[in-house]
Chain A
Amino acid sequence: MKSREQEYKEIFVAEALEYFDALNRLISDLEKRPQDDQVLAEIFRMLHNLKANAKAIGYLQISDVSHKLETAFSLIRNKELSFSDEVVTVLFEGVDLLGELIHNIDNESYGEPDPVLLRNLDIIVDNLSDSTIELAKVQRYNTSKNLSLSELVYIQIKKLDHLLNLVGELVIDRDRIVSISRELDNSELKSVSSHLNRITEDLQYSIMDARLVSIGSLFNKFPRIVRDIANAEKKEVDMVMEGYDIQIDRNILQIITDSLLHLVRNAITHGIEKPEIRAKKNKPRNGNLSLIARNDRENVLIQLTDDGKGIDLVQVRRAIAERQMLPESAVANLPDSEALSYLFEPGFSLAKQVTEFSGRGVGLDVVKNAVDSIGGRIRIDSEKGKGTTFTLQLPTSIAVKGALLFEVDEIFYAIPLLHTEQVVAIEIDELHEIGGVLVADIFGETTTVVYLNELLNVKEQEMRLGDKSRLKGLVQNIIIVSYNNRKLGIIVDKLYRQQDIVVKPLSKPLDAVDLYGGVTLLGSGKVCLVLDVPAITRYFISRRQVMAGELNI
């Protein structure tokens, strides 16, 4: 866990090294203009800060040496000590010692500072002008000294964004060169391209790594917020958090910050019951909230669980029917997980009362949009009376995605792996037309299936989503995708391979087509469209509804 102590230490060291560098510059200035009050004031201020900070964090040697130097400089300022060669030398050495101490904060094998130097500092500080014997031992210039700069740099996030874009371009060119070198079969080109391949990959991961922050930086804000909301709602809430250390891209964390806050508010205002009610239900008076982050293969999972009243599925089904989102017969047969997914539809709120903290119009649909926008997934699990869990599955990094490549009607497509559940091949006889769409029994689960060519390339008036005769061949390759607790099988013409892709935004006029999340270039130089699974799923559902409507007429 990157604790607050660790954070303090990093800040301390970064700032201390800045002071150290500035002090070196300033005492050189002072050597040239020994009575410059401004320079003296600056030196004084820095030593003073260094002393106070070191004392606060517990680096007593640093605070002690800073204190001695500070005293020496105040004597110079008060003209009680002259800035003679010998004094200058000791002060330089003293500042060097500070640098050494700062650099060796983590070095357990670092011994004690040079006693002669400490003694010399004491001589100056105590103004023992007669005791100059040991000063003579001090060497005037230490030419073997190493120059050193701060180990930490601050960098603007937009510079990292730019680097990430550049590396994205590079990866695409790299793939192209690797592919050309294979075609040309030139051994020299092959060896260069394989080296380029490795270097690019390394560079890409280094840049992705530089953008990672720990989730703790967000989690640390929650205890306070939870306390405030709980107080306002007159509820008692105990919160447990785990996974402070889990690393995630800084921009992804930024995007989901509001969403997570919203879910936490919801959990307290709508989930956890008031203490009296909990007591009546034989639950502990204090509600429990847990926020847990963990790694899940390439992704980060964030789970928010409350032990509150849970979501009433009867009420959800009634609301779906009332809002005419599905015919009533269909609502009854809806699996629980799918019914819950309707909570993410715009305007679908079960809250009866608007409180200060939630129910003010920002619903779960906003949360869902935020998670969709970074290619993540969200699901709800809930049991009435027991509580609710929200699970966010987020990519660790934004630039590069694992994707499955395939072909439909001689065009290349990719689907991000985050949305793919499995790939199956079934015979055309196993596909059945029900209610104007195709369904198949896939591993014991009745799954709706759509031929992607029909959905993408056929005019809306001529679209026949349930027409098997439009399929080519006997065996159909189906990619099962999942979005918002709903599964959909997508029939493709040819399946290729799994590959890391760099998604580029679409340029005009294609950017108006919202079924694609972007485009990528394959090593062969061919363009490959990246499917936006949420958009495709929504489009499919809307087409199915239109057709069902037409059938009824």
Chain B
Amino acid sequence: MKRILIVDDSFYMRTMLKNMLTDAGYEIVGEAPNGQTAMELAKETKPDLITLDVILPDNTGLDVLKGIKAEQPDMKVIIVSAVGQEVIVNEAMEHGALSYIVKPFSEEKVLEVVSQVLKEE
């Protein structure tokens, strides 16, 4: 079972993502509401994939991405962003994010992106 860490500051978004992913058979190893927790959990749980919101209360998703990549260069990260943040998304892709999901997302889209990224071994 593939293990996923969800990083998003909104409880609502985390709940939606968690439900969609667990329903599809993924295991959620943790949920982080901020960058600090995200980096700790990434180190602790070593997930197969991280979904990363780009706007977080303590730092930007980009800083978190860089922090995680510095310690675990092979970590798979998908960016979760909203419309209008294309600049950040592009920058994140340059820093090693594998794909992105735009809010509001559909269940199909989330599962499509997640399964695609996890398939690329």
Binding site for B on A (CB under 8 A): 4, 7-8, 11-12, 15, 42, 44-45, 48-49, 51-53, 55-57, 224, 227-228
Contact = CB atoms under 8 A, between A and B. Distances in A.
A48 B60 CA distance: 14
B103 A55 contact: yes
Contacts of A11: 11-12, 15
A183 to B, nearest CB: 55
Contacts of A49: 9-10, 12-13, 55
A45 B13 contact: no
B12 A8 contact: yes
B96 to A, nearest CB: 24
Interface bin, chain B:
10 to 19
Given A45-B55, A48-B82, A224-B23, A53 B13 contact: yes
Nearest to A14: B11
Given A52-B13, A227-B25, 13 more contacts: A4-B19, A15-B10, A15-B12, A42-B57, A44-B55, A45-B9, A49-B13, A52-B103, A52-B104, A55-B103, A57-B12, A224-B23, A228-B25
Interface string B53-74: 0011100000000000000000
Contacts of A12: 12
Contacts of A55: 103-104
B36 interface: no
Contacts of B25: 224, 227-228
20 contacts: A4-B19, A7-B15, A8-B12, A8-B16, A11-B11, A12-B12, A15-B12, A42-B57, A45-B57, A48-B82, A52-B82, A52-B103, A52-B104, A55-B103, A55-B104, A56-B12, A56-B104, A224-B22, A227-B25, A228-B25
A45 to B, nearest CB: 5
B25 to A, nearest CB: 7
Contacts of A44: 55
Interface of B: 9-13, 15-16, 19, 22-23, 25, 55-57, 82, 103-105
A12 B15 CA distance: 10
Nearest to B24: A224
A321 B80 CA distance: 63
A49 B56 CA distance: 10
A383 to B, nearest CB: 34
B57 A56 contact: no
A224 B27 CA distance: 11
A51 B13 CA distance: 12
Contacts of B16: 8, 56
Contacts of A228: 25
B22 A53 contact: no
Contacts of B57: 42, 45
A44 B88 CA distance: 15
B105 A48 contact: no
Nearest to A42: B57
A57 B12 CA distance: 10
Nearest to A70: B84
Nearest to B60: A41
A44 B103 CA distance: 16
Contacts of B12: 8, 11-12, 15, 49, 53, 56-57
B26 to A, nearest CB: 10
Contacts of B19: 4
A293 B104 CA distance: 35
A496 B9 CA distance: 59
Q: Which of A11, A51, A52 has the most CB of B within 10 A?
A: A52
A51 B23 CA distance: 25
A334 B19 CA distance: 49
B82 A51 contact: yes
A48 B11 contact: no
A55 B13 CA distance: 11
A56 B103 contact: yes
Contact of B11 (A15, A42, A45): A15
